[in-house]
Structure 1
Amino acid sequence: MGEISIKINIADRVYPLRVSTEEEEVIRHAAKLINEKIKEMQENYAVRDKQDLLSMCVLQYATGMIKAERSAQTQDMGLEQSVHELESILTDFFKK
């Protein structure tokens, strides 16, 4: 699985990239989501400057990513606590 050259269009600008074949679909999908979000923001807000729209888009996606990471960490901590409780119960059970 080697690298390929692709061109991605984001906010009416073309970016040539070299990506692994495994990443191509994800990158194309990400570019599509970004362009859809920019279009949505253009329709809903009085902002027309592409740089401002890109900044707003990045802020929204970064905020979502941070929330998802925090949620995953919280779930991991809860799972870890449950495992320790189960381990303690099993240890007590087998001591009897």
Structure 2
Amino acid sequence: MGEISIKINIADRVYPLRVDIEEEEVIRHAAKLINEKIKELQDNYAVRDKQDLLSMCVLQYATGMIKAERNAQQHEEGLEERIHELDNVLTEFFKK
């Protein structure tokens, strides 16, 4: 569609961005989740440095993303295997 200018606050810093209109909600939600995770880490650990909190936050999100990608890949491989099995069954059925 079109681009808009927005300001996103992450860890008490404002970042001006130009984003597609349809991405605005996702970006704002992501910033909210990041700030909530930073607050949670700050409350649970004796870390006050924003850079350390951001690094810990990124590590947690990256770990979650890698796990989700691996899980999706495993499901995809399992689905591919089932499709081959079904193809073999159908091929045998139609040969008769």
Same fold (TM over 0.5): yes
Deviation per CA, 1:16-68: give whole Å up to 9, x if none: 00000011000000000000000000000000000000000000000000000
Q: Does 1:49 align with 2:52?
A: no
- Aligned residue for 2:71? 71
Q: TM-score, normalised by structure 1?
A: 0.99
Instruction: Name 2:60's counterpart in structure 1.
Output: 60
**How many residue pairs are counted as aligned between the two chains?**
96
Q: Structure 2 CA distance, aligned partners of 1:75 and 1:36?
A: 31
Distance 2:57 2:50 in 1: 10
Displacement of 1:86? 0.3
Query: Match for residue 10 of structure 2?
Result: 10
Aligned to 1:39: 39
The two structures have a TM-score, normalised by structure 2, of: 0.99
Return the letter of the residue paired with 1:6: I
Residue 72 of structure 1: SS of its match in structure 2? helix
Moved over 6 A (4+): none
